[in-house]
Structure 1
Amino acid sequence: MTGSQPPSMQLGINLSFCVKRWVTPELWAPIVREQLDLDLVQLSFDLVDPMWPDDVLHDCARDIRAAADQYSIAIHSAFIGLAHYTFNQLLHPNARVRDVAEEWMTRAYRFAGLAGINRVGGPLGAIASRTDGVEMDSIPASDYDDLIARLNRLSVAAQRSGIVELYIEPTPMRREWPWTISQAQRMAADLAGTPVPWKFCLDWGHATFEPLYGRYRARMAQWLQDLAPHVGMVHMQQTDFQYDRHWDFTETGAVNPAEAARLQREAGLANQPVFLEVFYPFERDDASILKALAHTISVLKPAFA
């Protein structure tokens, strides 16, 4: 409606910034609530490995629930994180390794359920590179079929753990899947009707990667519009469209928060949460990170309010 206030959007933060630093909920919860003034987070499995012993995982889940209650923080979802992403996961050339990755995800769902988190997601995996360096335009059909079968099984496993929504994060690499809008649309159709629905998490550093998509075709607006019925959330970062930077907004880049919020609203996705996802060098000092995060949130909040 002309002249009306645009709908407010949910702004949260992925706990990627906590890796190797604020690794327990007793540490990250007060930072999120008291220093950043946020009440919505996305847990990273860089902080909790689902393969840890069950008694350790039960205690971690208990502590996460307690901290979330104490600081009035909603944990929207849990995402794979960097550590597990470095493996080829569900597209590894060895089928037995794919089995292990499938079991890893099943345990991730179980842990999320214990911690009171009912949504889980992340990138799916990567096929191996060729020895001649040539990258194909799509993964082999047999790998795709196997991936769809595993995602169907994982949906069943997720339902057993109380998960209500699962997410696939497209990445800008030909060895991963999906990396184009048409591939994502095909996958959405092939996964329609699973017990727990699969949605997409769109990332500002992925959809705008010009070296892969081309300068004039790397546009987040197209991803948001064409995949709107299947989008469950957005990852926000500052980037230059040349690499998947995951910068905060103290850096100079090409992402304008107000424009990003406008595009998401115009795609009819104002009701889908936005999570800042930033990574820092492990050797950077803690105080400068907290200062940069506070500045970044002060930049993002007016855009998504």
Structure 2
Amino acid sequence: MEYPKIYLALDNCFALKRWVEPETWLPLIKDLGYTSIQASYDNEFDMLYNTKEYIDSWLERLTVAEKQYGAKVQSFYSGYQTYRTSGLAHPDRRVVNSIVEGWIKPAVKIAGERNADMGFALHGIPENIMQDPEKYRECHEKLYRIYSDIGEYARKNGQVHVCVEAMYSPHHTPWTIEGTKEFLKNIYSLDGNAIYTTVDIGHMTGQHKFRKPEKEAIEKSLFNHPIKGYCPLWLGSDSAYAIWMMRLLENWIRNRQS
């Protein structure tokens, strides 16, 4: 078996609001012994709040710093700025178009020109859609098409690997291993345009809160949990919690009568 060659890189998020120019944070990273860098769009390099003139200047200064210090930005990644929007899953197509045209496509072009890759977490599913199976299905079908088109654009503009970050809660899909496999497969199945994933091990710390309970655990919660209206399990939708509450009340009444 031939294993891929892997480089250890350092993200420049530590530099936020302190070292805000390429010529200030890049030598710090090189001094730590890293020659491969992941640059966060959050560190004064985001298309949502910076002008094109500034972005162009930033990239020129980055090139100078890379040559001067012998380190290279291998990938660009989004952070908290873009986490604050439902983005590509927004019900209003105008928001989606704005994100695609104003953020993603410029980011892909930049990455392609610099022989770098990029990634983001740019969709969050609104609660009313989460609670409706049909709307949830339709939302994901739209997402698959959007991401397939992004994958095509990335392929045609420098063979950029676009990565979607695996998140940690149900409304930030994909958020499980199997869900990630399904997510990537469904995108690729449309037109053969690949989208990749990024595994953030820090996101795994909270996923246990959303594990689907076994049947035995549900039965136990119905008979052993006090009548407080609080379910100790994660059941997903509001309708599932409503059914649980109804069964809990039925058991409580039955026990009171016996």
Bigger Rg, structure 1 or 2: 2
Distance in 2, matches of 1:70 and 1:136, equals 55
Identity %: 23
Matched residue, 2:89:
91
Matched residue, 1:65:
63
- 1:80-119 aligned at under 5 Å gives the runs 80-103=78-101, 104-114=103-113, 116-119=114-117
Q: TM-score, normalised by structure 2?
A: 0.71
Matched residue, 2:138:
142
Distance in 1, matches of 2:148 and 2:5, equals 34
- What's the CA shift string for 1:31-89, capped at 9, x where partnerless? 1011x121111011112012433222211111112211211112121111111111111
* CA RMSD between the two structures: 2.9
Matched residue, 2:73:
75
Question: Larger relative CO (CA 8 A, sep 6+): 1 or 2?
Answer: 1
Matched, 1:128 2:126: yes
Please tell me whether the aligned partners of residues 148 and 188 of structure 2 are also in contact (alpha carbons under 8 angstroms).
no
Distance in 2, matches of 1:26 and 1:126, equals 34
SS across alignment from 1:173: coil
- What's the CA shift string for 1:173-223, capped at 9, x where partnerless? 1111111222111122123376763221101111342222389xxxxxxxx
Matched residue, 1:49:
46
SS across alignment from 1:108: helix
- Return the letter of the residue paired with 1:62: E
Q: Give the one of 8, 12, 36 matched to 1:11.
A: 8
Please tell me whether the aligned partners of residues 184 and 194 of structure 2 are also in contact (alpha carbons under 8 angstroms).
no
The runs of 5 or more residues in structure 1 that have no matched partner are 1-5, 216-305
Q: TM-score, normalised by structure 1?
A: 0.61
SS across alignment from 2:17: coil
Moved more, 89-98 or 152-161: 152-161
The runs of 5 or more residues in structure 2 that have no matched partner are 214-258
Matched residue, 1:233:
none
Please tell me whether the aligned partners of residues 164 and 196 of structure 1 are also in contact (alpha carbons under 8 angstroms).
no
Please tell me whether the aligned partners of residues 144 and 186 of structure 2 are also in contact (alpha carbons under 8 angstroms).
yes
- Return the letter of the residue paired with 2:23: E
